[in-house]
Structure 1
Amino acid sequence: MVPCPFAAATVLLLFRAGVLGFPLGQGPHSTTGCGYKSCPETQPTMLNVHLVPHTHDDVGWLKTVDQYYYGERNDIQHAGVQYILDSVVEQLQQDPARRFIYVETAFFFRWWRQQNAETRKIVTELVNQGRLEFVNGGWCMSDEATTHYSAVIDQMTLGLRFLNDTFGPCARPRVAWHIDPFGHAREHASMFAQMGYDGFFFGRLDYQDKKRRMEARDMEMLWRASESLAPPTADLFTGVLPNGYNPPAGFCWDQSCSDPPIQDDPNLEDYNVDTIVQKFLKVANDQAALYRTNHIIMTMGSDFQYENANLWYKNLDKLIRYVNAQQSQGSKVNVLYSTPSCYLQELHRANLTWSVKTDDFFPYADNAHDFWTGYFSSRPALKIYERISNSLLQVCNQLEVLGGPSSRRGPHGDGDSETLRRAMAVAQHHDAVSGTEKQHVANDYAKRLAIGSAHCQVLVSNALSKLSGSDAPRVYCESLNISVCPLTESSDEFSVTVYNPLSRPVGWAVRLPVNGTRYSVTDPSGREVDSQVLPVSQATKDIRRDRGHATNELVFQAQAPPMGFRTYSVSLLQNWPPRAPPLPGAPLFLKNKYLSVTFDPDTGLLSSLSNLETKQTVQLKQNFYWYNASMGNAESLQPSGAYIFRPNSSTPVPVSLTAKTRSLQNPVVQEVYQQFGSWVSQVVRLYEDSRELELEWTVGPVPVRDLFGKEVITRLDTSINSSGLFYTDSNGREVLERRRDFRPTWVLKQTEPIAGNYYPVNSRIYIKDGEQQLTVVTDRSQGGSSIQDGSLEIMLHRRLLLDDYRGVGEALSEPGEYGDGLVARGRLLLTLAPPAAAAETHRPLAESLVLQPLLSLQAGRLHPNALLEFSGLQAALPPAVHLLTVSQWDGDSVLLRLEHQFQVKESQTHSQPVTVNLQKLFSTLTVVGVSEMSLAANQWKDEMTRMDWKGSTGEKPLQKEQRDPSTWEVTLKPMEIRTFLLHIRR
C-alpha cells in the first residue's frame, strides 16, 4: 500500500479491504486446502505421473461462441460446453481424489450465471479444496501472434476479476496454459510473469526445435522474456507438453474417442488390464527419458471432451489403481490425479538449474513444408476491425471515468463499456483475430464487436454531453475510410469533436465526405483552420458502390489535447467553383519541410525517400506482388490455407510493372494516386506537418479465375545494407531482432525460404544499417519479412482455394459484402531516421495508430455555451510514459496503468526512469487513495509472491525494491507497467 496523507488514511484502508470482491487472503469459505497446499502426495523414489483431466474449449472456431456453449450445430462439430461443466461437477463429487482444470472464463461465466444456489455451493467447495482448479483464467486462451498487448491485458483482467470476485484467492490461477496457440510470443511470457504466474505450459513448438529439445532433455526451461526488465520480473518457467494437449496414444476415453476402455472383469473374454498397464508403463518411461525430473505430466483430455465425464473418470480411476498395484511387484511408477500447478510445484522442489531462453517461438512449423505463418495476415478486415474496436474501448473506458455515473444513463440512453469489453475479450481468442475460424464464425465475432461498439457510443455521447454541456445527438461515422457519412454528405453546417485517448497532444488529419466545394473550419477559439476539398478517388467510389454519394472530401488538420477533446465547427461556403480533379502526368514529387519523396517518371513507382532534417536519402522502390499459393506438389501435399503460408515459388509475381498515376497538391496535403491494375491501387500521401509518409493501399477483390490462390504483398526495396537482419515488435511492445534463415535456439534446416522467414508484425517492422533506419508502421497485425538485404515485405491480403487440413474445413476465400471477394484497405506509415533516433519516432507513431482519436459529429450550429475544449489531465505526460488503462472499477475506484514505453538503451533521451505524480494527474478527479496491484489487477503488488528458478546463465540478480520518491509519486523504469487502484473524489 502506498502511504497517504493522514486525512485520507481511513478512506484508503476501507478502499483496499473490499475492492476486489472478497478481501484478499480470505474467501467465501475456508481456503486452507486450495492452491499448492491441496496437491496430492507424491513418491520421491518413483516416477510420478501427473494425470491432468482437462478440456480445451475454443471460444469460437468451427461454431460460434453461443453454438459451442449450447451444443448447437453438432452437424459441424459435436460440442456443448454447458454439458461438459455439468458432467465434470457431478463426477468430481464422486471421489475426492479426482481433479479437473478449467481455462476459458468466458464459458464458465455463462455457466455460473445459470446455476442454482446448491450447485454454486458445491462448485465453491470444489474450488476451495483444489479439486476444480482454474488455469490461465483469462476470458479466453488468446492468440499470441496477432494480438496487441493492451487487449491481452484487458481480457486477462476481465477473466481473472470474475474468478476473484466469485471465489476469492482459491480461484487465482498459478499457471499460464496456452496449449493450442500456433507459436508463442516473448511478450506474452513477460505479461504472464508480471501477472504473478509461476509457470507456463504450452503444446505447440517447431518440429525441429522439439526434436532437439527431446534429444537434449530440454523440454522445460526458464524463459527470460525481457531485455529491459531486471530479472526475475519477466522470468517465467516454461514447459513443453509431450503430446500437444492430447492424451498418449491409446489412452483416450471420451465419447469422441475410439480407444478401448479398461475391461477389468477376468471372467470376460475381452479382459485387457494387463495389456493396458504394460503399455502405459512403457509410455510413461519413454516420456520420462525426455524430461529431467522424476515427475512427468500427461494431458488427459482434448477438444470439447468430458461432455460425459463418467467415461473419462471411470477409466482413469482404473488406470491409477491397476498401474499403482504394480508397485508391489517392483514397479517404480506412481500415477495420480494432478493439476499443472501441482506438477509445477514438484519441478520447483527439484531445485535444478534450467536452460535459459531469451528469444521467442516464432515461426512455428509442424513439418518441413508446413509453416503456420499465413494466419499472421488472414482476414485483414477482421484484424483492423478488432484494432479499431480496441481503440474505441479505451476511449469508452476513459470517458466513463471522466463523465461519471451519468455517462451510463444520460440524455442519449443507457450505455455501457462491458458489452464491448467482453466482445473484445472474445476476439483475442486464438481462432478469432488470428483469422483461422469458419466464415460464419468470423461474421459472429464482427457482429459482437459491432453491438459492443454501439453500446460504447451511447456511453461516449452521454459523457461528452456531460463534459461539454451540449445534449445534441452525436453521430459516429464508421465508414470514413471509404468516404461514407450521411450527416456530412447532406449538412451545410455541423461540428466535429475529436477525442484523443493518448496522454500527449496529437495532430490528426480529419477527412470527411462532403458534396460542397468550399467550407469554413474553425477551432474552439473561432480561428480559421486551413482546409481543402478534394475529389473522392475513383478507387474509393468503386469500393463503396451505392453506400454513399459524396463527390468530395473535406480535409483539415485537427489538434486534440491529452485525454481530452477539441470541437471544430464546419460551414459550407456558397458559390465557389469546384476544385480541379487530380491531373494525370503531373510532376510526381512530394515535399514538405520534413520529407521529400520522388517517383520514377517511367514506371510511376516510388523511387526515393529523404529526411530533410537529417539530410538522409534512401533509394526506395515500392510495388505490389502476389505469391501463387501452393496447392500441393510432389515434394509435399501441403497447400496454403487459413493457417499455413506456402507459396509455390520463391519469386512473387508483380501485379503490374508500372502504375498509372495522378497527382494532387495543396497547402494541407499532397497525394499521388497509383493504379496497379483493376484490383490494386494506392494513395501516397504527405501531410503538411507530417514526419511520416502514408501509403493507403487498397487490394481486392483478389482474382482467382486462373485457379490460383494468391498471397498479396507489398515490397519495399531499398539501398539500406541490412546484412540479413530485420526487426519486428512482439505484441506491440519490445522489439526482437530477426535473422534470415536462422533460429537462435537451434541450427535451422530451412525448407521454405519465404514462409519460413515470416514473422508476426503487430505494429512495426524495420531494417537498418549504421546510418539509416527505415521503419514501416502498420494499422493492424500482419505478417512480414526481409527476404533480401535492403528489402521489407508485408502481406496485405490472402485469398485461397483450398483448406490447409488443420481443421477449419474451409478455403480462406472471404466473399466480401457483395459476394465477389473481400476488398481490404489499410495504411502503412514510413519513417526514415538515424537508428539512434528512430525509436523516438516509430514508438509514438505506432501508439497513435493503436489508440486513434474518436470523431463524433453533431448537425447544425453548436450550443453557444458548449465547452469546446477539455483535457482530463492536468498536463501532458512525459514522452516516455503511456497511459495504458484508465477505467472504472467499482463505485469511486478507478483502475490505472502507467507504462514506460521505451526499452533499455533504445533512446538516449527517453530510456531513463520517469516519475509521475498521481495527485497531479487528472484535471477533474482528486485521488485520495492508491494501492498498487499486479499487472492483471487480481493481487495486491506487495502480497504477490512467485517461485524462484535457477537459470543456466547464473544466479538471477534480485530485483531491487521499487522505491518511489514520495507518497504520491511513482517511478517507471524502461518497459515497466505499473497498475494502481485509485480511490477518487469527483
Structure 2
Amino acid sequence: MIGKIHKQMSHDSWLFSKMATPEYTPFVFLLLLFQSSVWGFPSCHATKPGMLNVHLVPHTHDDVGWLKTVDQYFYGDRNDIQHAGVQYILDSVVDQLLKNPDRRFIYVETAFFYRWWKQQTDDMQNTVKQLVNEGRLEFVNGGWCMSDEATTHYSAVIDQMTMGLRFLNDTFGHCGRPRVAWHIDPFGHAREHASMFAQMGYDGFFFGRLDYQDRNRRMVAREQEMLWRASESLTPPMADLFTGILPNGYNPPEGFCWDQSCDDPPIRDDPDLEDYNVDDVVTRFLHIALVYKTNHIIMTMGSDFQYENANLWYKNLDKLIRYVNQMQSNGSEVNVLYSTPSCYLQELHRANLTWPLKGDDFFPYADSAHDFWTGYFTSRPALKRYERISNSYLQTCKQLEVLGGPISRKGPFGAGDSETLKKAMAVAQHHDAVSGTEKQHVANDYARKLANGWAHCQVLVSNTLSSLSGSSAPRVYCEHLNISVCPLTETSKKFSVNVYNPLARPVSWPVRLPVNGTAYRISDAKGKAVDSQVGLSVLIMVVICRCSITFVMTFLRVTFDPETGLLSSLSNLETQQTVKLSQNFYWYNASDGNNSESIQMSGAYIFRPNTSTPFIISKTAKIETLQNSVVQEVRQWFSPWVSQVVRLYTDSRALELEWTVGPVPIGDDLGKEVISRLDSSINSSGVFYTDSNGREMLQRRKDYRPTWNLRQSEPIAGNYYPINSRAYIKDDKDQLTVVTDRSQGGGSIQDGSLEIMLHRRLLYDDVRGVGEPLNEMSDIYPEGLVVRGRHLLSLSPPATAADTHRPLAQEVYQAGGEREPIFSGLQAVLPPAVHLLTVSQWDQDTVLLRLEHQYQASESKEHSQPVTVNLQKLFSTLDVLGVSEMNLSANQWKDEMTRLDWKAESGTHHTGVTNQLSAYSAL
C-alpha cells in the first residue's frame, strides 16, 4: 500500500485497520454509517426572487470558558460573575423549536452540546435527532470549541476539530456534519485556519471581527464577502474558501435584541393596548443599512449566552417576520425568513457571481485607532507554554496507546487513557483559553484540566513502556524540569531514564536533568558510554574584564562583546556566513489610559505602549561561562528579574537562548511588557516573516496592509503579529530565523531587527470584558509570575534556511532523542520532508494516521519535492490490513468530499507576499 504526498506542504491521512498483537481481531476498515434523511439545502425556507431576502439566524455564542470556567458556564453556576447557563439554553431552544416548524437555530460548541446530550433521555435524543434531520437545528463549525486563530498550533486545532466533528458524525450521521465554519468571536483570522477548513470540507466561513479600517473599506466597495485563497501552491480550489463578514459582528441589529439580557422593547402588536409599536419596529427594520453584493443579507439574531429563555426571542422573531412581510402588499421589497448560514450560503452560490479574491490574512485586528488586539499574542506566557508541551505529550500518549495495544489502557500501572487529555487540550484551544484572555481563576482551571489529562496519560505511557521494555519498575515523571527540579534524579545515586522520540526521524537533542553530584557515568541500554557533562561553572567574569569570548562548535561560532557581555556576532561555519548580532531585553511602559490621544489601556487583549521607544533593562550583563565537550554556555544576568543562558551544543545548527523573566517589578506603578530584541546587520528593508499556526510563512511589512491603505496610529502595536513557531528576517545573502517554544507576539520595528514579547504584567483592565488586569500571581510566586522559555536562532542562506528552521520547529515542539534505541515503532525512518502528525486509536481495530509534507513549494531545493511513503511497511508492531483515505478532520471519506465551487474576480488576489509560494494539499 503506497501513499503519495503529492504536493508541498500537504497533509494526507488514512484510517487503517491493524493487527498489532494477538488481542486484536482483523478488521478491513472503519465504516462510517450515515442516516438517510431530508436534511440539506431542501430544508431551507424558500426565498423570493427580486426582493431583498433577510436571513435571520438565531444563535448563541457560548464561550468554552472566559469569565467563568467551562463547568460553571454549563451549569449556570457563579451567576454573580456572569449570568449564563448553557444547559438551560439547549433545553429552552429545543422546546421552542418544537412549537413552530418554521423556526431555526444553529449551535456551535460541541464541548457543551456533548455534555448536554449525555444527560438527555432516549426520547429527547430521538426528538433532537429529528430536528437535526429536518434542518431545524443545524450545527455549524462543530469543533469541540471555537478555537483561537493567533495562538494555536495547527496540530491542536486539527485534533479539537476532529473530536467535535466525530461526535456529531457518530451521533447524527450525515445530517450532523457542519457545512459552514463559524468563527464569530476570535480576534483576527489566520490564513492557515481557512486552509484547514477548506480541507475539512467546509463550503464557507463566516466571522465577525476584522480591522475597523478594513471593514470600512469593504463596506464601501461591497467586498464583505470574498473567496479566500488560503494557499498559493495548491491547485485551486483545494484551499479556496468562501468567506463572509457578518454585518453586526455577531450581534443583532441595534434595537432588535429580545433576550432576557437585552433592554430593547418587545414587539407590542395589540392595537387595543397602550404603546402599540409594530409600525415603528417595521420602519426601523426596513431602514437598516445594507452593504452586500447580492439581494440576500444575513442577520445574526443572538449573542453571548443568549436564548436561556428562548421564548422571548422566538415570540418576537415570529412577529417581526410576519409584520415585515405583510408590508410586501404595500410595495415593500423586503422578505424576512428564518434561516441558517448554510441556507444563506446556498443562495449566494445560486447567484453565480464572481467574488473578490484574498490571499493574505486578517492580522492584526484593531477595533479603533489606538486599540490593537496584539497583546494577547503573548498574554499568559506560562499557560501558552503548558498548552504547547501538553499537545506534544498528547501526541506521544496517542502514539504509545496504538503501539502498546489494550495493555496500554489497562496494564500493570492501572487504567490509563488519552481521552482526558484530548478533551482538556481541545478546550484549551478556545479563543479565551490559550489566548490568555480569561479571568485568572479560569486560567487556573484550564491548567488543572491539562494536569489531570497528563496524569491519565502517564498511567497509559507507563503501561506501554513496561510492556515494550519488559520492565515493570515504577516510573517517575519529572514534571518540573522547566525550573530544574526532579526529586528522583537529585536524590538517587543510580537511576535510569527513558527517552521517547515522537518524531518519525532520528534527532540529536540534549537531555538535561538536575543532579546532586559532580561526576556521573552515563551509559545507554547496551552499556555503551554516553558523552555527558555536569554543568559546573568554570569561569566567572565581570564585564570590565574585556576578555574576548568566542564559542565554536561543529556548525556555529558565537562571539560576545567583552565590554558588555552581550552577544555580538553569529557565524555559520558550513556556509562561511557571519552577521553582526546583538540581543538584549527591554520593556514597554503599558498605557494606563491617561494620555491625550486615547484613554485606551493595555490589557489582556490590547497592547498599547505609552511610547514608541522601549526602556532597556541593562546595557551590560554580568556573565559566567561553561565550556565542555557537550555544551558551551554564557550565563547572563541583566537584573534581579531578567537572566538568560546562551547555549551552543556540539552538533547543533541553532543557538539556544534560554530566558527567565520575572517577577516583573511594579513598585513604580507601571505596567510592563517585556521583549527580547535581536539587532543584526541584515538589510531587511522593513520586511519580516512569521508562520501561520505553525505551518506556512507569511510576509509582513512595516506600516503596511496588502488589502487597504493603512493609516498607522500605533507604530509598535500596529506592527505586531502572532508568532506561533518561528519568524525570520532576511536579505539577499543571510536569513536569521528565531524558533519559539510557544506562541508569542513580535515585530520588526527597525530594519535588521526582530523583537519578541516574552512577558506582560499590567495594572489595568483594557475594557474588553475580562474585567481584571493581567497581573498573574500565585502561592508559589506571590511577588508575580516567573516565566522561562527558549528561542533557537539559526543563520543560513535564504535558499536553504527552511532545511534548518522547519525541522527545528518540530523538534522544539516535540523534542525527542535518538541513541541506539531499544524499541522503534517504525520499520524505517520517514523522509526528512515528511512529518508524522497523527497516530491515534480510532476504534478497537482502526488507527487514524496523518502524514504531512512540511515544506512549502520552492522552499527547499532538496525537500520541496513530492514524496512517496509505503504505508504497509511503516510500523514495526502493526500489520496494515486495509486503508481508506479521509479528509483532514476525518469525518468524510476523501473521495466523497464535495464542496461548492466559486468564481473569483480577476486582479483582486492580495497575498502580501513576494517570491513565495505556500501550500499544503487536501487530506
Alignment partner of 1:522: what SS?
A: coil
Equivalent residue, structure 1, for 2:101: 96
Equivalent residues of 2:384, 2:743 under 8 A apart: yes
2:254 to 225, 245, 249: 249
CA distance in 2 between partners of 1:14 and 1:353 (Å)? 50
Equivalent residues of 2:485, 2:514 under 8 A apart: yes
Equivalent residue, structure 1, for 2:807: 844
Equivalent residues of 1:695, 1:829 under 8 A apart: yes
Deviations 1:850-888 (A, max 9, x none): 212399xxxxxxxxxxx9611111111011111110000
Q: 1:369 to 1:954 in 2, by over 3 A?
A: closer
CA distance in 2 between partners of 1:620 and 1:740 (Å)? 21
Give 5+ residue unaligned stretches, structure 2. Answer: 4-15, 20-24, 910-916
Name the aligned partner's letter for residue 155 of structure 2. S
Equivalent residue, structure 1, for 2:311: 310
Higher relative contact order (CA 8 A, sep 6+): 2
Equivalent residue, structure 2, for 1:937: 890
Shift of 1:619: 0.2
Equivalent residue, structure 2, for 1:559: none
Equivalent residue, structure 2, for 1:878: 831
Equivalent residue, structure 2, for 1:949: 902
Deviations 1:785-829 (A, max 9, x none): 000000000000000000000000000000143211000000000
CA distance in 2 between partners of 1:9 and 1:405 (Å)? 15
Equivalent residue, structure 2, for 1:588: 549
Equivalent residues of 2:27, 2:881 under 8 A apart: no
CA distance in 1 between partners of 2:269 and 2:782 (Å)? 58
Shift of 1:950: 0.3
Name the aligned partner's letter for residue 276 of structure 1. V
Equivalent residue, structure 1, for 2:881: 928
2:682 to 692, 700, 720: 720
1:919 to 872, 881, 888: 872
Which structure 2 residues correspond to residues 272-671 of structure 1 after superposition, within 5 A?
A: 272-283=277-288, 286-287=289-290, 290-535=291-536, 587-632=548-593, 633-671=595-633
2:46 matches 1:46: no
Alignment partner of 1:429: what SS?
A: coil
Equivalent residues of 1:911, 1:974 under 8 A apart: no
CA distance in 2 between partners of 1:444 and 1:188 (Å)? 26
2:694 to 693, 707, 732: 732
Name the aligned partner's letter for residue 861 of structure 2. Q
Name the aligned partner's letter for residue 888 of structure 1. Q
CA distance in 1 between partners of 2:116 and 2:383 (Å)? 28
CA distance in 1 between partners of 2:870 and 2:807 (Å)? 22
Alignment partner of 2:147: what SS?
A: coil
Q: 1:594 to 1:371 in 2, by over 3 A?
A: same
TM-score, normalising length from structure 2? 0.95
Shift of 1:947: 0.2
Name the aligned partner's letter for residue 80 of structure 1. G
Equivalent residue, structure 2, for 1:748: 710
2:714 matches 1:702: no
CA distance in 1 between partners of 2:316 and 2:483 (Å)? 59
Equivalent residue, structure 2, for 1:57: 62
CA distance in 1 between partners of 2:211 and 2:69 (Å)? 29
Equivalent residue, structure 2, for 1:167: 172
2:863 matches 1:900: no
Alignment partner of 1:805: what SS?
A: coil
1:829 to 785, 792, 795: 792
Equivalent residue, structure 2, for 1:809: 771
Shift of 1:527: 1.2
CA distance in 1 between partners of 2:386 and 2:582 (Å)? 30
Equivalent residues of 1:726, 1:737 under 8 A apart: yes
Name the aligned partner's letter for residue 920 of structure 2. E
Alignment partner of 1:510: what SS?
A: coil
Equivalent residue, structure 2, for 1:562: none
Equivalent residues of 1:898, 1:977 under 8 A apart: no
Shift of 1:977: 5.7
Q: 1:662 to 1:72 in 2, by over 3 A?
A: same
CA distance in 1 between partners of 2:497 and 2:768 (Å)? 47
Give 5+ residue unaligned stretches, structure 1. Answer: 536-578, 856-866, 957-972, 980-986
Which structure 2 residues correspond to residues 55-134 of structure 1 after superposition, within 5 A?
A: 55-134=60-139
Alignment partner of 1:507: what SS?
A: coil
Alignment partner of 1:512: what SS?
A: coil
Alignment partner of 2:263: what SS?
A: coil
CA distance in 2 between partners of 1:98 and 1:205 (Å)? 30
Name the aligned partner's letter for residue 714 of structure 2. E
Shift of 1:769: 0.2
Shift of 1:590: 1.4
Alignment partner of 2:534: what SS?
A: strand
1:786 to 732, 748, 767: 748
Alignment partner of 1:756: what SS?
A: helix
Name the aligned partner's letter for residue 581 of structure 2. L
1:218 to 204, 217, 223: 223
- Please report the RMSD computed on the Cα atoms of aligned residues, expressed in angstroms: 2.0
CA distance in 1 between partners of 2:629 and 2:781 (Å)? 38
Q: 1:955 to 1:437 in 2, by over 3 A?
A: closer
CA distance in 2 between partners of 1:51 and 1:642 (Å)? 33
Equivalent residue, structure 2, for 1:820: 783
Shift of 1:482: 1.4
CA distance in 1 between partners of 2:772 and 2:921 (Å)? 41
Name the aligned partner's letter for residue 243 of structure 1. N
1:19 to 31, 41, 45: 31
CA distance in 1 between partners of 2:311 and 2:360 (Å)? 42
Equivalent residues of 1:392, 1:854 under 8 A apart: no
Alignment partner of 2:508: what SS?
A: strand
Shift of 1:62: 0.2
CA distance in 2 between partners of 1:702 and 1:433 (Å)? 21
Equivalent residue, structure 2, for 1:682: 644
Shift of 1:38: 1.1
2:915 matches 1:910: no
2:920 matches 1:976: yes
Alignment partner of 1:534: what SS?
A: coil
1:773 to 712, 735, 752: 735
CA distance in 2 between partners of 1:833 and 1:854 (Å)? 24
CA distance in 2 between partners of 1:809 and 1:595 (Å)? 48
Equivalent residues of 2:358, 2:908 under 8 A apart: no
Deviations 1:133-153 (A, max 9, x none): 000000000000000000000
CA distance in 1 between partners of 2:235 and 2:458 (Å)? 41
Shift of 1:516: 1.5
Name the aligned partner's letter for residue 796 of structure 2. A
Equivalent residues of 2:18, 2:881 under 8 A apart: no
Equivalent residues of 2:57, 2:105 under 8 A apart: yes
2:240 matches 1:235: yes
Equivalent residues of 1:88, 1:309 under 8 A apart: yes
| Fraction of identical pairs, as percent | 75
Alignment partner of 1:869: what SS?
A: coil
Equivalent residues of 1:2, 1:931 under 8 A apart: no
Q: 1:974 to 1:320 in 2, by over 3 A?
A: closer
Equivalent residues of 1:595, 1:691 under 8 A apart: yes
Equivalent residues of 2:17, 2:880 under 8 A apart: no
Alignment partner of 2:132: what SS?
A: helix
